[in-house]
Chains A and B, each alone.
Chain A
Amino acid sequence: MKKIGLFYSFNTNKTAKNAEKIKKAFGSSAEVESVNVEDVDEEMFLAYDNLILGVPTWFDGELPNYWDEFMPAIEDLKLKGKTVALFGLGDQVGYPENFVDAIGLLAIALEERGAKVIGLTSPEGYKFEKSVALRDSKFLGLALDIENQAGLSNERIEAWVEQLKKEFK
């Protein structure tokens, strides 16, 4: 498996903690490098063929500002050959109309530039109304809800990482 770039904001608390759990779950099966998305530029982003992106949903279904500010750069990137997995925090009770939308927003944008999105998961076990991250009855990544289902996060992460180990090349 090629080296994985794990992109998330180092200024976050919850997302960072879960990113570290993901990294830990890979153990020695893959080389995972953490990258602070707040400082990312095109070159750093393109340095990896395998990427895991941490993208929590802000407000009523928005990207966090650090990803949003990188979007104009993404628009001009050619991402063919890149394999991307996304995870994100959301609140299915407080924001059931926009649960983990940001995963979907980023995933679709990356696909449009040629990236392959992997690590799709089942929405079973979640209760929400709408999500941009939902396509063909699958989330376009791993949805974590530490506000309402914190006890399920560890097993969800472990299962997801096992899945990624198979899907990443």
Chain B
Amino acid sequence: METLEITSVESTTDKTNKMTESKKFSIKKTSKELLGRWFHLMTLGRALDEKAPNYLKQAIGWSYHAPYAGHDGIQLAIGQVFDRKTDHLFPYYRDMLTSISAGLTAEEIIFNGISKDTDVAGGGRHMSNHFAKPEWNVHNVSSCTGNHTLHAVGLGRAVKKYKHKGVVISSQGESSVSEGYVYEAINGATNEQLPVVFVFQDNGYGISVPKKDQTANRKVADNFRGMKYLKIIHCNGKDVFDSMNAMTEAKQIALETSTPVIVQANCVRMGSHSNSDKHELYRDNAELNYVTEYDPLAKYRRLLVRYKRFTEEELLAIEAEVKLEVKKAHKAGLSAPDPDPASIHDFVIPEPYVSEKYPEGLHNFTGNNKKLIEGLNETLKAEFRLNPDTFIWGQDIANKDKGGIFNVSKGMQQEFGKDRVFNAPIAEDYIMGTANGMSRFNDKIRIVVEGAEFADYFWPAMEQFVETTHEYWRTKGQYSPNITVRLASGGYIGGGLYHSQNIEGALATFPGVRIVYPSYADDAAGLLRTSIRSKGMTVFMEPKALYNDPKASAAVPEDFEVPFGKARVRREGADLTIVTYGNTTHMCVEVADKLAEDTGKQVEVIDLRSLVPMDIETILKSVAKTNKVMVVHEDKVFSGFGAEISATITEKAFDKLDAPVKRVGSEFTPVGFNRILEKAVLPNNDKIYAAAKELIEY
């Protein structure tokens, strides 16, 4: 392949520059071999783009197809400058030619289009037209438009930290730039000075919404002009040579200066947004003729003949070759195996780290007690000493003597340096999204993030959270985001609506994440160690009211490990089972002691420790003994995680129950700031005592 190094290329940003400046690629100078290869790729891409709707018409598949015709120049160029050995590429759902130009074969495109098990993106698990090949660093991205910009930035961070020579290319439509997280991504890439090329393929529409309804600048890249260290290049995305020169320049700048570049490529959308859209409903004939007239493939073909680089016969021969290639790929596609329905539970989440020394997550260590916050801090440091590929970031994580909003990470930056322990901007989605991105660099990396200052502020990160839960399954095990998301959670601090929330019930509805919620220092340390050592994502809920509470302190073995899905019986009893976790564990133990004193009845208190996966065996074993069960947690009773526990018990142990499963938790209101209101909303010893007594007496 002709090398793509360039000596000097004027930016097309400033149009008053010389118009006929000699460029690296031009119809006259580019080698015939390369011109021919491009024509082959473009013809192949267009043939597949035009063939895709037929699969839907014949009810074979490809029910989502976003035609790329009109984006041919820039898509060819993105794929051509991408080097799979050194670079990373995030194509979006319209990037068929980008993917082909990057090396995907016609068969691979069709396998994805009709969702075959052989689809290299992920065996038909993701939508059609979401082309990817993780093995080559062509990443499998979300349908959530532009969300991969944050992944690209995270990867760019890894590229820089590991001093890797390569760039990250992120591609998207111009309307997706309206998403707030795209701003976060570009702001972060400039602030961290990362080698990321953002390509905006501008076809003027976000489905049917014209760009005038998206933003004031017709060229959305110009919205970013004030950002430091950012280069913006405009090019004609319909023109092969302008696109090749722009992308080559962009890659060179990103590589040589480790700074981000935006390439805004002006394209046309010759077709509808997708096969569920009818552009005739919002575009008139004049416009449709206008965009079709600038068919980039037809233009490129005319140039090849006009400047005598190819004869008509030579081009016809290439077109005939492509026809055969598509025919062969079509046959292969139809005979390829479908995914096995029995495989749906494969690759939901990777197997976790296995503890050999503490298989039940229990110990008999009798050293000095440590506070919960000390257990966390010391475990973080121990794991960071053990594994040099560990990183932690978040808001307030590293400022002189401050380490995290509650000082959980105190002293870490001093010991492990700014490269591994660093602050994040106040942008929770950025914190989460760049963790997803950075983890892609290699699977040795283990990331810990403080997902937000408080769990209450994690909501802006939800789209990246959801996205991250999908990765392992969607790629059929090809990519595992290895991330521990720490969240200071819960109330009892007089924090009001936004410093008291429990969000585990909402998060637990997503397959693809583990959720743990310790109550004591030893379990906190053991679960954190297991989280950091495991592949996959774990949400680590920290009951912030207990960080320094002597009630939560415990003796902590230096190497303690708590496996996921192992509950701990904190108090034994035969008259009632209480299933709980987090802040309410301590209340339940206290209530059980008081009930024993007052009534002589013995309550068994099970501290779940791990919500997903949940230790149902320990619960059922206890219920078989006590025949009565109460679920207590801090979160709201209505739709709280206790609903899942309760339903599972009812389903699996109905015949063992002598009373309905009872639940205690917060009222179905926000948590009031005034202490009187807070007390009225949250569960406490009195409420738990009354409910437990009532159940015992049932």
Q: Is B303 touching A69 in the complex (CB atoms < 8 A)? A: yes
Shortest CB-to-CB span from A82 to chain B, Å, is 15
Find out whether the CB atom of B28 lies under 8 angstroms from the CB atom of A112: no
Cβ–Cβ contact B20 & A112, under 8 A: yes
**In the complex, B679 has a CB within 8 A of chain A:** no
Report B211 CB to chain A, min CB distance, Å.
9
**B19 contacts A112, C-beta separation under 8 Å:** yes
Decide: A69 and B302 in contact? CB cutoff 8 A. Answer: yes
Is B27 within 8 A of A72, CB to CB?
Answer: yes
Residues of A with C-beta under 8 A to B51: none
Query: Roughly how many angstroms separate A86 CA and B98 CA in the complex, as a whole number?
Result: 38
Nearest chain A CB to B532's CB is how many angstroms away? 49
Interface pair A60/B219, CB less than 8 Å apart: yes
B285 at the interface (CB under 8 A from A): no
Complex CA distance for A95 and B306, rounded to whole angstroms: 32
Q: A interface, by DSSP: helix, strand, loop or mixed?
A: helix
A97 an interface residue at 8 Å Cβ cutoff?
yes
Once bound together, how far apart are the Cα atoms of A37 and B218, in whole Å?
A: 29
What's the Cα separation between A95 and B217 when bound, in Å?
Answer: 10
Q: How far is the CA of A72 from the CA of B242 in the complex (A)?
A: 12
- Whether a CB of chain A sits under 8 angstroms from the CB of B310 is no
Task: Give every chain B residue within 8 A of A72 (Cβ-Cβ).
Answer: 26-28, 303, 307
Task: Determine if B219 and A97 form an interchain contact, defined as CB atoms under 8 angstroms apart.
Answer: yes
**A65-B293 contact, Cβ under 8 Å, with A72-B28, A104-B15, A105-B15:** yes
A71 on interface, CB distance cutoff 8 Å:
yes
Q: Are A101 and B266 in contact (CB under 8 A)?
A: no
**Which residues 92-118 of A have a CB within 8 angstroms of B?**
95, 97-98, 101, 104-105, 108-109, 112-113
For A20, what are the chain B residues with a Cβ–Cβ distance below 8 Å? none
Q: Which residues of A contact B302 (CB under 8 A)?
A: 69
Look across to chain B and name the residue whose beta carbon is closest to the beta carbon of A108.
B19
Residue of A whose beta carbon sits closest to that of B211: A60
Which residues of chain A from 56 to 75 have a CB within 8 Å of any chain B CB?
58-62, 65, 68-69, 71-75
Q: Are B239 and A68 in contact (CB under 8 A)?
A: yes
CA distance A132 to B16 in the complex (A): 7
B18 within 8 A of A: yes
Q: Is the CB of B19 within 8 A of A109?
A: yes
CA of A95 to CA of B219, assembled, Å? 11
- Which residues of chain B come closer than 8 Å to A113, judged between CB atoms? 20
**Is residue B299 contacting chain A, with contact meaning CB distance below 8 A?**
yes
Question: How far does the alpha carbon of A65 sit from the alpha carbon of B298 in the complex, in Å?
Answer: 11
Give the nearest-CB partner of B286 in chain A.
A13
Contact B294 A65 (CB under 8 A): yes
Is B236 positioned at the interface, with any CB of A under 8 Å from its CB? yes
Q: How far is the CB of A57 from chain B (nearest CB, A)?
A: 12
**A113 CA to B20 CA, complexed, in Å:** 9
Chain B proximity of A65: nearest CB distance (Å): 5
Chain A residues within an 8 Å CB radius of B268: 59
Across the A-B interface, how many residue pairs have beta carbons closer than 8 Å?
A: 55
Residue of A nearest to B28 (CB): A72
Closest CB of chain B to A92's CB: distance in Å?
A: 13
Q: Once bound together, how far apart are the Cα atoms of A65 and B15, in whole Å?
A: 18
B contact residues around A73 at 8 Å (CB): 307
A112 touches B18 (CB 8 A): yes
In the bound complex, CA of A60 to CA of B26 (Å): 22
Contacts of B306 in A (CB 8 A): 69
Evaluate contact between A95 and B218: CB separation under 8 angstroms: yes
- Please name the residue on chain A nearest to B202 by beta carbon: A60
CB distance from B50 to the nearest CB of A (A): 21
Specify which chain B residues have a CB less than 8 angstroms from the CB of A76 in the assembled complex.
28
Per the bound structure, the CA–CA distance linking A68 and B218 in Å amounts to 22
**Given the complex of chains A and B, what is the CA–CA distance between A109 and B19 in angstroms?**
5
Given contacts A69-B303, A69-B306, A72-B27, are A60 and B218 in contact (CB under 8 A)? yes
* Contact among A60, A104, A108 with B266 in the assembled complex (CB-CB below 8 Å): A60
Chain A 116-150 near chain B by CB (<8 Å), digits 1 or 0: 00000000000000001000000000000000000
Query: Which residue on chain A has the smallest CB distance to residue B17?
Result: A108
Asked if A97 meets B266 with Cβ closer than 8 Å, knowing A108-B16, A109-B19, A132-B15, the reply is no
Contacts of B303 in A (CB 8 A): 69, 72
Specify the chain B residue showing the minimal Cβ separation from A135. B16
A84 CB to nearest chain B CB (Å): 14
Knowing A95-B218, A97-B218 touch, does A61 contact B15 (C-beta < 8 A)? yes
Q: Which of A61, A69, A95, A105 is within 8 Å of B19, CB to CB? A: A105
Give bound CA distance, A105 to B234, whole Å. 14
Q: Can you name the residue of chain B whose Cβ is closest to the Cβ of A41?
A: B306
Please report the C-alpha to C-alpha distance between residue A61 and residue B15 in the assembled complex, in whole angstroms: 10
**Which chain B positions have C-beta within 8 A of A69?**
299, 302-303, 306
Q: Among A59, A95, A108, which residue has its beta carbon within 8 angstroms of that of B18?
A: A108
Give 1 or 0 for each of B16-43: 1 = CB within 8 Å of chain A CB. Answer: 1011100000111000000000000000
Give every chain A residue within 8 A of B20 (Cβ-Cβ): 71, 74-75, 109, 112-113
Question: Shortest Cβ distance from B22 into chain A, in angstroms?
Answer: 8
When chains A and B are docked, how far (Å) is the Cα of A62 from the Cα of B20? 15
Q: Mark B209-232, 1 if CB is under 8 A from A, else 0.
A: 000000001110000000000000
Q: Do A65 and B299 have beta carbons less than 8 Å apart?
A: yes
CB closest chain-B residue, reference A107: B19
What CA separation (Å) do A62 and B302 show in the bound complex? 18
In the complex, how many angstroms separate the beta carbon of B232 from the nearest chain A beta carbon?
A: 14
C-alpha gap A59/B204 in the complex (Å) = 9
The 8 Å CB contact of A59, one of B19, B27, B266, is: B266
Residue on B nearest A111 in the bound complex, by CB? B19
Task: Give 1 or 0 for each of A72-89: 1 = CB within 8 Å of chain B CB.
Answer: 111110000000000000
B294–A58 CB distance below 8 A: yes
Question: Quick one: which of B27, B217, B294, B299 contacts A97, CB cutoff 8 A?
Answer: B217
**By the criterion CB–CB under 8 Å, are B26 and A101 in contact?**
no
Complex: how many Å from CA A75 to CA B18? 11
Question: In the complex, which residues of chain A have a beta carbon less than 8 angstroms from the beta carbon of B15?
Answer: 61, 101, 104-105, 132
**B20, B218, B239, B302: residue with the most chain A Cβ atoms closer than 10 Å:** B20
Q: In the complex, what residues of B have CB within 8 A of residue A71's CB?
A: 19-20
Contacts of A101 in B (CB 8 A): 15
Give Cα A73–Cα B306 distance, bound, in whole angstroms: 10
On chain A, the residues within 8 Å of B290 by CB distance are: 58
CB distance from A154 to the nearest CB of B (A): 23
Q: List 17 A-B contacts (CB under 8 A).
A: A58-B290, A58-B294, A59-B268, A60-B219, A61-B15, A62-B266, A69-B299, A69-B306, A72-B27, A97-B217, A104-B15, A105-B15, A108-B18, A108-B19, A109-B20, A112-B19, A112-B20
The 9 closest A-B pairs by CB, nearest first: A109-B19, A75-B20, A132-B15, A72-B27, A108-B19, A65-B294, A109-B20, A112-B20, A60-B218
B: residues with CB less than 8 A from A are: 15-16, 18-20, 26-28, 202, 217-219, 236, 239, 266, 268, 290, 293-294, 299, 302-303, 306-307
Q: Taking beta carbons and an 8 Å cutoff, which residues of A are in contact with B?
A: 58-62, 65, 68-69, 71-76, 95, 97-98, 101, 104-105, 108-109, 112-113, 132
